[in-house]
Amino acid sequence: MKRTVFRPFMSPRRIAMRVVPALCACLLGCHPGRHATDTRPNTSDSATVQVNGTTIFYEAAGAGSVVVLLHTGNLDRRIWDPQFAALAHDHRVIRYDARGYGRSGRAISPYRGDEDLYALLRALHIPRASLVGASQGGRIAIDFALAHPEMVDRLVLAAPGLSGWEFRHGDTTWLPDARRARDRGDSAGIALAWLQQDFMRPAMERPAVAEALRRIARDNGRFWMDVIRYHGEADQQGDPPALHRTRLLRAPTLLLIGSRDSPDLRELADTLSASIPNLRRVVFEGAGHLLNLEEPERFTTLVRAFLH
């Protein structure tokens, strides 16, 4: 596995990716064409599990075919508040904090998000699931689906990242504020500066959404201090990267993108649309990067119908 070259502060293209990587083969002998079903009652539970030398915190609710929600970078599982209970009406829904975020363990040594997802689902005895990934979560979902296609039922990719993709047009206007916060040791200040980016603006224009994002971003300030303290991001991308392999994805895929998202991510969405065989694309006009928070009802309706 290739190791990341750590840098004192992230480059613009890696910054763009942040707003932005496997399940074992049919643990319970599932048939490739069927949903894996968890028959536990329609109740909510949470726990912390040991995976790959760290801890992962998750919440689960509902009963039925399994759906896993993968959050964006720099935030945590709470971005799925509008969808978690709604999707649990029809499915066993799991949302978790990726390594380095929320209530999960810190990301201070190289790791891959898809391998953490593998270990988590193996620990939960889940042989097959649909994956709903936003930004960084979308990148992890794609890497996972390529590594373990027999374990993925459906894919929902909301403004996803992609391992191997070169980000060229990242908004860097927030960096001076972030550097000043870094210099005074203010992790929350770095996180709040990150919310100033162009592709976050549509979400931040909504007062209730902005308030929630500020709270979640502040709570995840430790991520930024670990990046600085340990000289870069520990998150490794897929190896080999997914960029030239997306044509191999076989799961039915729903791709969602906002018309006000970053130029990089809109171009990436075009690339995925042209390469993934069984894909439906929906554009959210006037929306930015956090579609599930900016237009929660429409997002939830589309995802529920696709997963049905």
Which of 4, 304, 292, 3 has its CA nearest to residue 154?
304
CA torsion 197-198-201-203 (nearest 10°) is -80
List pLDDT tens digits, range 41-77. 345 699 999 999 999 999 999 999 999 999 999 999 9
The pLDDT of residue 4 = 34
Instruction: Tell me, yes or no, whether 68 lies in a domain.
Output: no
**82 pLDDT band (50/70/90 cuts)?**
very high
**Dist. CA 199–CA 308, nearest whole Å:** 30
The pLDDT of residue 25 = 28
**232 pLDDT band (50/70/90 cuts)?**
low
**Dist. CA 273–CA 295, nearest whole Å:** 22
**5 pLDDT band (50/70/90 cuts)?**
very low
The pLDDT of residue 6 = 30
List pLDDT tens digits, range 198-224. 999 999 999 999 999 999 999 999 888
pLDDT over 90, % of the chain: 75
Q: Report the pLDDT averaged over residues 161-190.
A: 93
Provide the whole-model pTM: 0.85
Instruction: Tell me, yes or no, whether 83 lies in a domain.
Output: yes
The pLDDT of residue 71 = 98
78-92, 95-109, 143-157: least confidently modelled range: 95-109
Q: Report the pLDDT averaged over residues 232-249.
A: 87
The pLDDT of residue 18 = 38
The pLDDT of residue 7 = 33
Q: Mean pLDDT in the chain? A: 86
Q: Which domain holds residue 294?
A: 12-25+35-61+75-164+173-307
User: What CATH code is carried by the domain that includes residue 102?
Assistant: 3.40.50.1820
The pLDDT of residue 231 = 61
The pLDDT of residue 33 = 32
Instruction: Tell me, yes or no, whether 252 lies in a domain.
Output: yes
Instruction: Tell me, yes or no, whether 1 lies in a domain.
Output: no
Q: How many domains does the chain have?
A: 1
Q: Report the pLDDT averaged over residues 115-134.
A: 97
The pLDDT of residue 109 = 83
Whether the Cβ atoms of residue 131 and residue 144 lie closer than 8 Å to each other: yes
pLDDT for residue 164 is more than 90 = yes
Which of 93, 143, 137, 94 has its CA nearest to residue 114?
143
**171 pLDDT band (50/70/90 cuts)?**
confident
Tokens of 153: 């039922």
Instruction: Tell me, yes or no, whether 7 lies in a domain.
Output: no
**Dist. CA 156–CA 145, nearest whole Å:** 11
Residue 33 CB contacts under 8 Å (≥ 6 apart), including other chains? none
Instruction: Tell me, yes or no, whether 3 lies in a domain.
Output: no
